[in-house]
A and B are shown apart, each in its own frame.
Chain A
Amino acid sequence: MTTVTATPTDDRVATRSATATIMGRPEVGALIGAVAVAVLFLLVAPAFRSVGNIGTILYGSSTIGIMAVAVALLMIGGEFDLSAGVAVTTSGLAAAHLAWFFSLNVWVGIVFALVLSLGVGAFNGWLLHVTGLPSFLVTLGTFFVLQGVNLALTRVVAGGVSSNSLNDLDGFDSAKAVFASSFQLGSVEIKVPIIFWAALTVIGAIVLLRTHYGSWIFSAGGDSAAARAVGVPVTGTKIALFMGVGFCAWILGMHNLFNYNNVQSGAGVGNEFIYIISAVIGGCLLTGGYGSVVGATVGSLIFGMTQLGIFYAGWDPDWFKTFLGVMLIAATLVNLYVKRKADAR
């Protein structure tokens, strides 16, 4: 690689080599990891090699990736959302309960769930702003509140632990077509959430890298005091990021509701960490101000490949979490190493 140096006297404005630029991207570690995992399972799992099964792997990844995109943006903005896992369940339950209880068109329930999900996100952001507490604490509170509400209201409304079936209500078929349909692409079955996942990744990446709002996210997460000083609306930026998580929770919640015909009230707990881990594998720093949407998407793909790869390979799935922990640490170390190397050039 040739290094073109514009002003050799001042290294602050030196042009970096193309290699350094590529290697300096936050998602590089995740990409290396994804290739390694793919090669590993291609070697050991015959079912992994079958083209038709790509649909299953992508689908498994999409149910993580839809959320990981929003969670990554939030983390770059310097905050966590521990309520992200149960928020998905809350959204699905809200739509199901409202539509079933009042025998409404399911689309009324869907819109209500959207408003509620955005509201929960806005509440998280607002509470963070008002109290000045760390988002870890604020959203941990929301997490428990939502978990309790999910269980209690489901017991009251549906008399059990899962929402009632909406099959007979008006609008069910159109809603299922929007949120839970699938089509064949050659021998690969593409389920709709894969499309949502891809679209969210593209939109998220463009917003982050090509808009003013994107630079606000970076600066709010990097140093919020400095960002405020130069006129970045930090509070508004963060509230919008939390609402983004709410929006994605709504998409996934609607998919779960219409694909599986009901939502279990205890579901979703623990998934918030999976979203965060995907974002971290994808190069997001826990301290904020650095990271990548594409990286989070690759992180989700690693998750999906590992989860199903272990199964396709016939390994004892008891080891899945252990494997995941090793992956997480390895990805973080690779990220760190690559970043240092790139910065050193």
Chain B
Amino acid sequence: MIRSKRAVGAVVALSAALALTACSSSGGKDAADSSSAAAAPAAGAAAGPKKTIAMITHAAPGDTFWDRIRKGADAAAAKNNYEVQYSSDPDATKQAQLIQAAIDKKVDGIAVTDPNTPALGDVIKKAIAAGIPVSMFNAGGPDALGLGAIGYFGQGEKDAGIAVGAKAKADGATNIICVNQTQGQQQLVDRCDGVTEGAAGAKVKMIYVNGTDDSAVTTTIQATLTQDKTVDYVVTLGAPIALDAVKAVKAASSSAKIGTFDTNEQLVAAIKDKSVQFAVDQQPYMQGYLSIDSIWWYTTNGNTLGGGQNVATGPAFIDQTNIAAVEKFAANGTR
């Protein structure tokens, strides 16, 4: 008994010691908390009871891109004494139901993405008719102001694609694969079509991958690179996909270069170490921030942003020339 008690004591002491040394001196939640506290652009907070804004997007769960949008929206909400209630569904019929529910709830404002105007236009108009200010962002640019939105914040997907295609061509691309991570989304197809147009003269082929499964993305890109050795440029449509492409290019011992749409913290590091050539940035933080802030301006002072035009938040390129400046902000999770 005594021996076993001693053994227990030794185990307890050992595990306590392990627990102490297990604390990391850097990184983790502590580091993230302290950096994001510094990150939110502060302004004089408005007073009074909180107003509720519904933010309704077509995002599929688990894409880092939308975290930037939500952070921007939260920052604007904190400044304006709003509460942002976020919901999303990639299925247009369900997104329409969410918008209808926001109308039912009589929210004080709606910020919405519109990837499919024939399906969502009616319910967006219904919200506006119910007297709710609606701002639009990210998708639906060509139709936004026509529907009666108070503003639109985003980039033209095809224009961005053309810019990317031209940049890849200038970088020496002759055979490009455009990696589409979600089947059935028009704005992603627009991007690849834009790449084809912008890189006129080079061969461009679109391939589909399952964007919610990193290992499937990596193996699919790798298989494509192994099958066609002449591919010399991989264009991905999202930052996590570009990081998978880096692994795939290495595994296939290919010399293909990588360019991508959108960015995140890890991607900034990848551009810095030159494993990714460039990212075209549509500044999602700004989209989220402005979509909420525009509602505040509209309801408190009757202002609109954009002067009757869409506000372009992109395309802006991040590459070797400006990576140092961007890196600083990316660490905060705001770029």
A, B assembled together: yes
The interface of chain A, by Cβ under 8 A from chain B, is 47, 50, 52-53, 56, 59-60, 63, 151, 160-162, 165, 256, 259-262, 264-268, 307-308, 311-312, 314, 316-318
Inter-chain contact B87/A63, CB cutoff 8 Å: no
**Given known A47-B104, A47-B105, A56-B97, contact A267–B118 (CB-CB < 8 A):** no
In the bound complex, residues from chain A placing their C-beta under 8 Å from that of B98 are 311
Inter-chain contact A161/B183, CB cutoff 8 Å: yes
In the bound complex, residues from chain A placing their C-beta under 8 Å from that of B116 are 162, 260, 262, 264
Give chain B's interface secondary structure class. mixed
In the bound complex, residues from chain B placing their C-beta under 8 Å from that of A52 are 104
* Interface residues on chain B, number (Cβ under 8 Å): 29
Inter-chain contact A151/B93, CB cutoff 8 Å: no
**Given known A50-B104, A314-B52, A317-B87, contact A162–B93 (CB-CB < 8 A):** no
Among B90, B97, B104, B119, max chain A CB count under 10 A is at B104
Inter-chain contact A63/B100, CB cutoff 8 Å: no
Instruction: Kindly state whether residue B83 has any CB partner on chain A within 8 Å.
Output: yes
Restricting to B91-144, which residues have a CB under 8 Å from any CB of A? Answer: 91-93, 96-98, 100-102, 104-106, 116, 118-119
The residue in chain B whose Cβ has the minimal distance to the Cβ of A154 is B184
Instruction: Kindly state whether residue B76 has any CB partner on chain A within 8 Å.
Output: no
The interface of chain B, by Cβ under 8 A from chain A, is 52, 61, 83, 85-88, 90-93, 96-98, 100-102, 104-106, 116, 118-119, 182-186, 189
**Given known A311-B87, A312-B105, contact A151–B119 (CB-CB < 8 A):** no
Q: Smallest CB–CB gap between B173 and chain A, Å?
A: 24
In the bound complex, residues from chain B placing their C-beta under 8 Å from that of A308 are 97, 101
In the bound complex, residues from chain A placing their C-beta under 8 Å from that of B96 are 260
Inter-chain contact A260/B119, CB cutoff 8 Å: yes
In the bound complex, residues from chain A placing their C-beta under 8 Å from that of B92 are 260, 264, 267
Q: A161-B189, A262-B119, A314-B52 are in contact. List 5 more A-B contacts (CB 8 A).
A: A47-B104, A63-B97, A161-B185, A311-B102, A312-B105
Closest 8 CB pairs of A and B: A266-B184, A260-B119, A261-B118, A47-B105, A53-B104, A317-B87, A161-B184, A266-B183
In the bound complex, residues from chain B placing their C-beta under 8 Å from that of A56 are 97, 100-101, 104
Question: Mind listing 13 A-B residue pairs with CB under 8 Å?
Answer: A53-B101, A56-B97, A162-B184, A256-B93, A262-B116, A264-B184, A265-B183, A266-B90, A267-B184, A312-B101, A314-B83, A314-B85, A317-B86
Inter-chain contact B97/A60, CB cutoff 8 Å: yes
In the bound complex, residues from chain B placing their C-beta under 8 Å from that of A162 are 116, 118, 184, 186
Among B88, B100, B101, max chain A CB count under 10 A is at B101
The residue in chain B whose Cβ has the minimal distance to the Cβ of A161 is B184
In the bound complex, residues from chain B placing their C-beta under 8 Å from that of A265 are 183-184
In the bound complex, residues from chain A placing their C-beta under 8 Å from that of B118 are 162, 165, 260-262
Q: Smallest CB–CB gap between B333 and chain A, Å?
A: 18
In the bound complex, residues from chain B placing their C-beta under 8 Å from that of A260 are 92-93, 96, 116, 118-119
Q: Smallest CB–CB gap between A293 and chain B, Å?
A: 24
Q: Smallest CB–CB gap between A189 and chain B, Å?
A: 10
In the bound complex, residues from chain A placing their C-beta under 8 Å from that of B91 are 264, 267-268
- Expressed in whole angstroms, the Cα–Cα distance for A160 and B186 within the complex equals 7
- Expressed in whole angstroms, the Cα–Cα distance for A311 and B52 within the complex equals 12
The residue in chain A whose Cβ has the minimal distance to the Cβ of B105 is A47
Q: Smallest CB–CB gap between B20 and chain A, Å?
A: 33
Q: Smallest CB–CB gap between B38 and chain A, Å?
A: 25
Select which of B83, B102, B104, B182 is within 8 A of A266 by beta carbon.
Answer: B182
Inter-chain contact A311/B119, CB cutoff 8 Å: no
Select which of A151, A307, A316 is within 8 A of B183 by beta carbon.
Answer: A151
- Expressed in whole angstroms, the Cα–Cα distance for A259 and B96 within the complex equals 11
Select which of A50, A63, A317 is within 8 A of B93 by beta carbon.
Answer: A63
The residue in chain B whose Cβ has the minimal distance to the Cβ of A307 is B97
Q: Smallest CB–CB gap between B209 and chain A, Å?
A: 14
In the bound complex, residues from chain B placing their C-beta under 8 Å from that of A261 are 118-119
- Expressed in whole angstroms, the Cα–Cα distance for A266 and B184 within the complex equals 5
In the bound complex, residues from chain B placing their C-beta under 8 Å from that of A307 are 97
- Expressed in whole angstroms, the Cα–Cα distance for A63 and B94 within the complex equals 10
Q: Smallest CB–CB gap between B100 and chain A, Å?
A: 5
